[in-house]
Chain A
Amino acid sequence: MEKQRCIIVGASHAAGELCISLRKEGWTGVITVVGEENYLPYNRPPLSKTFLAGEKNIDDLLIRHAEAYTKADVQMKLGCRVEKIDRESKKVTLNTNETLAYDKLILTTGARPRIMDMPGAELENVFYLRSIQDADHIRPYIQKESRAVIIGGGYIGLETAAMLVSTGMHVTLLERDPRILNRVAAPEISQFFSRIHTEEGVELFTDVDISELKADGNGTKVNEVVCSDGKSFAADLLIIGIGVITNSELAEEAGLEINNGIVVNAFAETSDPDILAAGDCSYHFNKHYQRWLRLESIQNAVEQAKVAARTVCGNPQEYDQIPWFWSDQYDLKLQIAGLSGGYDNLIVRGDLSAGRKMAVFYFKEDNLIAVDAVNSPQEFMFGKRALAQSSRLDIDKLTDSSVPMKELMLQD
């Protein structure tokens, strides 16, 4: 009998996990990964930190080294792209005109940076930060006393600001909303991180409406960012971090159901059961929070990939995870468990206005729904466990950081 074929589209973090999980779950057929970038699946979080700083190289970034894929008998087709899915004949066509047949197709196409729609944004010192290539292009601009302007006060913008300012660059961060991290965190967290970045020397501006990116005399580089209120900022380097959009066009053109990403069920199957999707590109239902989500996170990429592998191998298991995230800025490690959206009460443990350590617990109708913890791994770990087990915390003692987290876990 001819071997079954599984094709993975996108050499992303989810793909790196899938290859190995498929083998662990017993897939004996062919595994082919088609990836547009010339690299094996790699960890993206260090791109805005140690890799950009030049402290880590590409080899350090790889999720697994090449031998691991060879051992797992995975065929890597890098530097090429799937252009079309033909669901009738179960074939994909690459940009090289090669055609590959599949029995199971898994889309791990991820997301790409949202492009700033403004004249000047295409000039040569304007960058986004999502790939090794992006970081490699930014690195030569990192020079002491040079001026970096960062547009967007989300995680990418803040992590990059932290890294750049620590090299001695002058860093200005511009945020359109009234506060940084507006879309993802409570005002208390925004306030804490604003203070830290300001203390570290980043010039932070919120409520900013950018009206013009002014080019230099040659018209090749942006040298000034102008705002509608008349403020302007000199720039040698411009980095834009204003969110991402999913790479779901391929799926859409193939007629798969799309809604804020590629729609998948609890088993990572799209509207075509022979096509699955995992990671940033997927739109899925979270059982714990009872709502549809698109998550940009490593955990989601890894765990959904595992679910997809089990489905493909005939050992299906429902996706059921408490989302968690982290962000490293300076010596601060922010660890987030759960989703805080919709909270009706929050409790701060520690001091928001001083120091570099604190945690915020979010509640809805007296139930814990999320924890944001800065340099407080115990708060994060116990919070995560409490969420997973739906156990209760001793709310009255939570504000007293002298009481260890261990003692706040109520058994019921």
Chain B
Amino acid sequence: MPLVTYISHDGTTTEIEVPAGNSVMQGAVDNMLDGIIAECGGSCSCATCHCYIDEAWLEKVPAASEMEKDMLECVLEPQDNSRLSCQIHLTDELDGLIVKLPESQF
């Protein structure tokens, strides 16, 4: 099962095994992790599951859709590695993925 490391804004690190096919968001929600709110349940409608992809993983994560890109332009504290975690689905290639969570979602 792909392992995802979530790093909260204060540096707290949580490792979660997320079943392949599930989203990075779902892994956090299932494990009561703070920092991902996911109001809309993963339909790319609310941007409350914003995360930063660790630089080393940027190229392995499939690109964002136009809708997601537009949403990301409006989040607080956007960065070049910003993504919506509901739009990233785990695969074996993403085993070991590291994401950081923005302070605004805590």
- Residues of A at the B interface (CB closer than 8 Å) are 20, 23-24, 43, 45-46, 63-65, 67-68, 71-72, 298-299, 302, 324, 326, 328, 333, 335, 375-378, 381-382, 385, 405-406
Contact = CB atoms under 8 A, between A and B. Distances in A.
Given A377-B67, A377-B74, A378-B70, A68 B43 contact: no
B47 interface: yes
A252 to B, nearest CB: 30
A381 B41 contact: no
17 contacts: A63-B29, A68-B29, A68-B30, A68-B31, A68-B32, A298-B40, A298-B41, A299-B39, A302-B39, A326-B45, A328-B43, A377-B47, A377-B67, A378-B70, A378-B73, A381-B75, A406-B73
B58 interface: no
A24 B32 contact: yes
A1 to B, nearest CB: 26
Contacts of A377: 47, 67, 70-71, 73-74
Dominant secondary structure of chain B at its interface with chain A: loop
A298 B43 CA distance: 12
A335 B32 contact: no
**Which bracket fits the contact residues of B?**
20 to 34
Of all A-B residue pairs in the complex, the 3 with the closest CB atoms, nearest first, are A381-B74, A326-B45, A377-B70
Q: Which residue among B39, B44, B45, B46 has the maximum number of chain A CB atoms within 10 Å of its CB?
A: B45
A56 B32 CA distance: 24
A64 B67 contact: no
Contacts of A328: 43
A65 B30 CA distance: 6
A20 B43 contact: no
Interface in B1-38: 29-32, 34
Contact of B67 (A68, A302, A375): A375
A300 to B, nearest CB: 11
B74 A72 contact: no
Given A64-B30, A68-B31, A71-B31, A378 B45 contact: no
A381 B75 CA distance: 8
Contacts of B46: 324, 326
A399 to B, nearest CB: 19
B32 A382 contact: no
Nearest to B44: A333
Contacts of A302: 39
A23 B40 contact: no
Given A43-B41, A302-B39, A381 B32 contact: no
A326 B43 contact: yes
Nearest to A63: B41
A23 to B, nearest CB: 7
A162 to B, nearest CB: 15
B40 A326 contact: yes
B26 to A, nearest CB: 8
